[in-house]
Amino acid sequence: MRHAHTVEQVRAAEAALMARLPDGTLMQRAVAGLAATCARLLAGARGRVYGSRVVVLAGSGDNGGDALYAGALLARRGAAVTAVLLDPARAHPGGLAALRAARGLVLTEQEAGLAAFTGADLALDGIVGIGGRGGLRPPAQPYAAAPRPGTVVAVDVPSGVDPDTGEVPGVALRADVTVAFGTLKPGLLIDPGASYAGAVQLVGIGLDLPPAALTALQHPDVAALLPRPDTESDKYRRGVVGVAAGSARYPGAALLAVAGALRGGAGAVRYVGTAAEEVVRRFPEVLVTEGGPAGAGRVQAWVVGPGGGEGAERALREALASDVPVLVDADGLTELARLGPAALAGRTAPTLLTPHTGEAARLLAGADQGPPPQADGLAAARLRTAHRLASAYRATALLKGSTTVVAEPTGEARSNPTGTSWLATAGSGDVLAGLAGSLLAAGLAPLDAASAAAYLHGLAGRRAAGRGAPVTATDVARQLPAVWRDVHGGAAPARGAGRGARPDDARPDGRRAAAGARPGGRH
């Protein structure tokens, strides 16, 4: 499991630890890890640190101090280090003295221009860290638009990315590698911030941290969550998932949701709706009933809404009246937005909502959260949006998109590391809904069912896309058994598909790439 903490949590943990340690100890721990990573990257790219060109972009805070001290360590190993001070009067005095003592060159931004940056083998982004607010300010903005140096290493956080949310409110500097201190920050795991962070490496500095504000599953976590039949199992004990989906207009959504449900670990899939004939023709193992959820036999979880069309209102009403977990997707969400959070008030079992940002906008408007939000704004603020939904509806909310985020009304949240933009294809959300519903029926808690489903779905999308090719929702469903085996076997996910290929310990399986590997794919 990867853990990310908010700025407030990090500051509190740092204060507690600093009170017990001599001044500067934490910074020196952070700097040692940072310089070691830079040295490995330089050695990987050039064979050695000696003679390499390093530029340090140093802002006014401790983040700039870290970068200056790391520059000093690299200068002592023979690198030609130039520090560019973006706020010379407020540069970190200790870091500056250390760099000067190591014979580093110190310039103002006017003196340096962009040449030192663009010509560097490695640039350290020490502009701002967890103290940064808003996008890059004017003196630093040109670096974001300039030609890229060999490798950009962000110190703690890529400057311009909101550490707590991953929002990028203005201009930010894209990194190939981010070296995070003490813990990850949510902004490193959630787009758009995650896409600025590159490969994320963690340097421990000994913080005693509270439960994480955000977690992200890795292969072993998912393997531990997935249901596995044992000698006592029968199809009912494994869970029956009910799928109320599809309509005369969208029969395909029923097939795709059922395809996902069949590969999600429940012992049986029961389908209700107008596509019963097509469903049985394609999947003879499915139990089918005409009508709505109320008249169907017993199930352990309902999936309502994919392609539900005109039948969605009845399906939603009947499923919500049940005492089992209900996953609401697509047309079911449109109906729920019309009814508002009151429709869930009497529920005794969990509800899981799986909107994309357009549906999230409708849900929030339906919850009377001020003026109707714009879907674009919600996509840029994924974590906040998922929290808002979960809290307004008192339900688990899985917000789909470039980073899928799951939030609980308790404030717990998970981000999914396996997505690929190849999944942005019609019907892939229906497969996800069926899969997550099946995991609910098998007994997983909503946060686990939702995040494990998003994880498998993302891996299946990557596997289907291979080195990068369009996939269909049917392809995604077909890959589910293979990725199920992958997470148990610890096999690495398919590389190179979409923007999921991150070269080191940002990889979802948690394995590290070889030391010194040149980060790729981001130039």
**Binding annotation for (6S)-NADPHX:** 62-66, 156, 253, 307, 356, 430
Q: Which stretch binds ligand ADP (CB under 6 A): 3-11, 55-63, 344-352, 426-434?
A: 426-434
Q: In what side-by-side order are the strands of the sheet with 240-244?
A: 2-4, 214-216, 413-415, 405-407, 396-399, 351-353, 326-328, 301-304, 240-244, 268-272, 287-289
Counting contacts by CB under 6 A, is residue 404 touching ligand ADP?
yes
**From the list K ion, ligand NAX, ligand ADP, none, partner contacted by residue 66 (C-beta under 5 to 8 A by kind):** ligand NAX
20, two tokens:
């017990």
Q: Which residue is at the shortest CB distance from ligand ADP?
A: 429
* Angle (nearest 5°) at CA 17 between 15 and 18: 65
* Angle (nearest 5°) at CA 446 between 481 and 283: 35
- 19-58 residues near ligand NAX, rule: CB under 6 A: 26-27, 30
Q: At what angle do helices 7-18 and 25-46 cross, to 10 degrees?
A: 120
Give whole-number Cα distances, 454 to 34, 371, 401, 476, in Å: 32, 30, 10, 12
**Radius of gyration of the CA atoms of the chain, in A:** 25
Counting contacts by CB under 6 A, is residue 400 touching ligand ADP?
yes
- 336-375 residues near ligand ADP, rule: CB under 6 A: 356
Return binding residues for K(+).
Answer: 63, 125, 159
Q: Which stretch binds ligand ADP (CB under 6 A): 118-126, 156-164, 211-219, 398-406?
A: 398-406
**From the list K ion, ligand ADP, ligand NAX, none, partner contacted by residue 125 (C-beta under 5 to 8 A by kind):** K ion
Largest interatomic CA distance in the chain: 80
User: Which H, E and C letters describe 375-443, residue by residue?
Assistant: HHHHHHCHHHHHHHHHHHHCCEEEECCCCCEEECCCCCEEECCCCCHHHCCCCHHHHHHHHHHHHHHCC
Counting contacts by CB under 6 A, is residue 131 touching ligand NAX?
yes
Contacting residue, 129, 192, 311, 519, with ligand NAX by CB under 6 A: 129
Contacting residue, 4, 52, 61, 193, with ligand NAX by CB under 6 A: 61
**From the list K ion, ligand ADP, ligand NAX, none, partner contacted by residue 137 (C-beta under 5 to 8 A by kind):** ligand NAX
User: Which H, E and C letters describe 482-518, residue by residue?
Assistant: HHHHHHHHCCCCCCCCCCCCCCCCCCCCCCCCCCCCC
Give whole-number Cα distances, 483 to 122, 137, 378, in Å: 37, 44, 30
Counting contacts by CB under 5 A, is residue 479 touching K ion?
no
Contacting residue, 427, 434, 437, 503, with ligand ADP by CB under 6 A: 427
Give whole-number Cα distances, 375 to 121, 316, 381, 385, in Å: 40, 24, 10, 10
Counting contacts by CB under 6 A, is residue 162 touching ligand NAX?
no
* Of 34 and 441, CB closest to ligand NAX: 34
Counting contacts by CB under 6 A, is residue 62 touching ligand NAX?
yes
Contacting residue, 125, 167, 329, 504, with K ion by CB under 5 A: 125
Counting contacts by CB under 6 A, is residue 397 touching ligand ADP?
no
Counting contacts by CB under 6 A, is residue 402 touching ligand ADP?
yes
Counting contacts by CB under 6 A, is residue 429 touching ligand ADP?
yes
Counting contacts by CB under 6 A, is residue 421 touching ligand ADP?
yes
Contacting residue, 60, 178, 354, 479, with ligand NAX by CB under 6 A: 60
- Residue 302 amino acid letter: W
**From the list ligand ADP, ligand NAX, K ion, none, partner contacted by residue 421 (C-beta under 5 to 8 A by kind):** ligand ADP
- The whole-angstrom separation of Cα 381 and Cα 214 is 15
CB of 63 to K ion, least distance (A): 5
The count of chain residues that interact with ligand NAX, using the rule CB under 6 A, is 25
352, two tokens:
């899981």
* Cβ contact 390:216 at 8 Å: no
Residues 6 or more apart from 192 whose CB is under 8 A from it? 161, 166, 167, 168, 380, 402
CB of 499 to ligand ADP, least distance (A): 8
- The whole-angstrom separation of Cα 336 and Cα 318 is 13
**From the list K ion, ligand ADP, ligand NAX, none, partner contacted by residue 133 (C-beta under 5 to 8 A by kind):** ligand NAX
Counting contacts by CB under 6 A, is residue 493 touching ligand ADP?
no
* Cβ contact 1:447 at 8 Å: no
Four-residue CA torsion sign, 37, 41, 43, 48: negative
Per-residue binding string, K ion, 142-181, x by CB under 5 A, is ------------xx---x----------------------
Q: Which residues bind ligand NAX (CB under 6 A)?
A: 14, 18, 26-27, 30, 59-64, 66, 128-134, 136-137, 155-156, 181, 205
Q: Which residues bind ligand ADP (CB under 6 A)?
A: 330, 356, 400-402, 404, 419-421, 423-424, 426-430, 432, 457
Q: Which residues bind K ion (CB under 5 A)?
A: 125, 154-155, 159
